Structure 1
Amino acid sequence: MITHRRWLPVVAVLALLGGCTSSPTDGMTKEEVVDAYVQAIQDGDRVRLVELNDPRLDRHAPIDVRIAAVGDREWSGSRITWVEHPVTGQFDSARITATGPDGEPISDQVHVTLGDDGSWYLSLGERTPQPGDPEPASTVRSHQ
């Protein structure tokens, strides 16, 4: 006869394994995330770009726009320069310059952010507005 005590360790292990999910960027430095971006954008690899994207940014249309603008073609002479944020002083954006296959200059910039899970992500998409979000500020003045 099998008692519930014998199953307890098995259930505990399965619960731990089931709760373990890792980020596609888990363990990567921000430099490695940008390097992965450079490869994925050249490959036109939308799936990989979505993986590198901050999961809070659930609208992915900007990724398609970026692929159309600078991706899906081989670059040469890629150079990454880290840009300092003017307010925080953090180097959280990477400016990428390269040359396209027809000799055209390629210039791109990506923002890197540390996610809630401790993994580095790129800010490539947009966040769907949620109920309770503040209204965006308007530059339109009403004349009263």
Structure 2
Amino acid sequence: MAGRHTPFACHQTSQEQLKKGPAMPKKQELTEAPESEAINKFEELRRRVIESGKIQTVKTTDEPFILGADWGFTTPIKVEKPKFTASELISESLRTGQVLQALRLVFGPNISKVLPKIDALGDEGGPSSILLIEDIMVHFYGPGAAQVFTN
């Protein structure tokens, strides 16, 4: 039977190939652009928005909103200006009546310090929470911001 051709002859493995082990597929090259290139694309979008003049971005300050002793906190709580996604989620939460979710987004890990103060307000805690969030948004975005966030 030596020299006889079998239908599976092309699949026969030599002793040398067995010693090497199975052939490993070559690593595929990354298809994503380097991070700096991707950031440049987003910056390009930003530049186009600014240059168009069609979209007005209004802000009053980037300084944190501070809840200090005048709010009953011995250690001040800093609220940083929300980034775009958080800002949109806060607005959506307020429009859909999810006040607690909006508070979580605004205060982040400090929410556990703020909630007892709000709970102490009793039935007025919910409406007071909305006013607090509105005050914070007005601090960052100026008068009229509250209507944008709640309508």
User: TM-score band, normalised by the shorter chain?
Assistant: under 0.3
User: Which has the larger helix fraction?
Assistant: 2
User: Which has the larger strand fraction?
Assistant: 1
Greater Rg by CA: 2
- TM-score scaled to structure 1, two decimals? 0.26
- TM-score scaled to structure 2, two decimals? 0.25
